C-alpha cells in the first residue's frame, strides 16, 4: 500500500504542479510578463547556454518562479508521503533538464517517444516547438495541458487588449 501511496503522491505533485505552473505562471507570463520570454524565447537563448553557462539572474528568477507551484504543494503532500513528494520534485527537475536538451541535437529514441506520447509526457522535441513558437506546445510536463493553455492564452491576450484600451481612454 505504501508503494501505491508514494506513486500517487508523486503523480499528483507532478499533475497539480504542472497545472498551476502552466495556468498561473507560464501562460500569464507570456502575456503580461518578461522573465520567461527573455529566457526562453529570445534569439539564441537555449536553456543550457542561457541558464547554466551564463548564470544569468533572469534565468534563475524564471526557473524559480516556474518551480514555485511545485514547492507550494510540498506541505500538503509531505504529510501523505515524504518519499512521494521528494520523488515528484526529483522527477520534475530531471524532466526540466531532459526537455531542454534539444539544442544539443538530442533525438528522443522512437520507443521512448511512443511511451511519452502514450502517457502524454512532453518530450524535448515537443518542448523545443514551444521555444520556437510561444503560442503552441504548452504543458511543461504533460501535453494534455496544451489545448486548454492555448485557450487561456487567447483569453488573457483579449483581457490585455481590453485593459490597454481602457488605459488609453483615461
pLDDT tens sequence across 57-98: 666 677 778 889 999 999 999 999 999 999 999 999 999 888
The DSSP letter of residue 41 is S
Residue 158 confidence class, pLDDT cut points 50, 70, 90: very high
For the segment 97-155, what is each residue's pLDDT rounded down to a tens digit?
Answer: 888 776 667 789 999 999 999 999 999 999 888 888 888 888 889 999 999 999 999 99
CA-CA distance, 161 to 166, in Å (whole number)? 9
Side-chain-side CA neighbours of 75 within 13 Å: the count stands at: 2
pLDDT tens column, 10-64: 999 999 999 999 999 999 988 987 766 666 666 655 555 555 555 666 666 777 7
- Is 105 buried (19+), middle (13-18) or exposed (0-12) by CB count in 10 A? exposed
pTM: 0.86
C-alpha cell at 153: 492564452
> Who contacts 58 (Cβ-Cβ below 8 Å, separation ≥6)?
35, 38, 39
Amino acid at each position: 500500500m505504501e508503494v501505491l501511496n508514494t506513486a500517487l503522491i508523486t503523480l499528483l505533485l507532478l499533475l497539480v504542479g504542472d497545472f498551476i505552473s502552466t495556468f498561473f505562471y507560464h501562460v500569464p507570463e507570456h502575456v503580461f510578463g518578461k522573465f520567461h520570454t527573455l529566457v526562453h524565447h529570445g534569439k539564441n537563448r537555449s536553456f543550457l547556454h542561457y541558464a547554466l553557462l551564463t548564470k544569468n539572474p533572469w534565468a534563475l528568477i524564471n526557473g524559480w518562479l516556474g518551480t514555485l507551484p511545485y514547492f507550494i504543494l510540498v506541505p500538503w503532500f509531505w504529510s501523505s508521503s515524504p518519499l512521494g513528494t521528494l520523488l515528484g520534485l526529483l522527477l520534475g527537475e530531471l524532466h526540466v533538464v531532459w526537455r531542454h536538451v534539444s539544442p544539443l541535437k538530442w533525438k528522443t529514441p522512437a520507443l521512448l517517444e511512443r511511451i511519452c506520447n502514450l502517457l502524454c509526457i512532453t518530450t524535448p522535441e515537443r518542448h523545443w516547438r514551444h521555444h520556437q513558437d510561444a503560442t503552441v506546445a504548452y504543458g511543461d510536463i504533460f501535453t494534455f495541458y496544451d489545448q486548454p493553455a492555448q485557450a487561456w492564452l487567447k483569453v488573457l491576450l483579449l483581457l490585455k487588449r481590453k485593459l490597454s484600451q481602457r488605459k488609453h481612454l483615461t
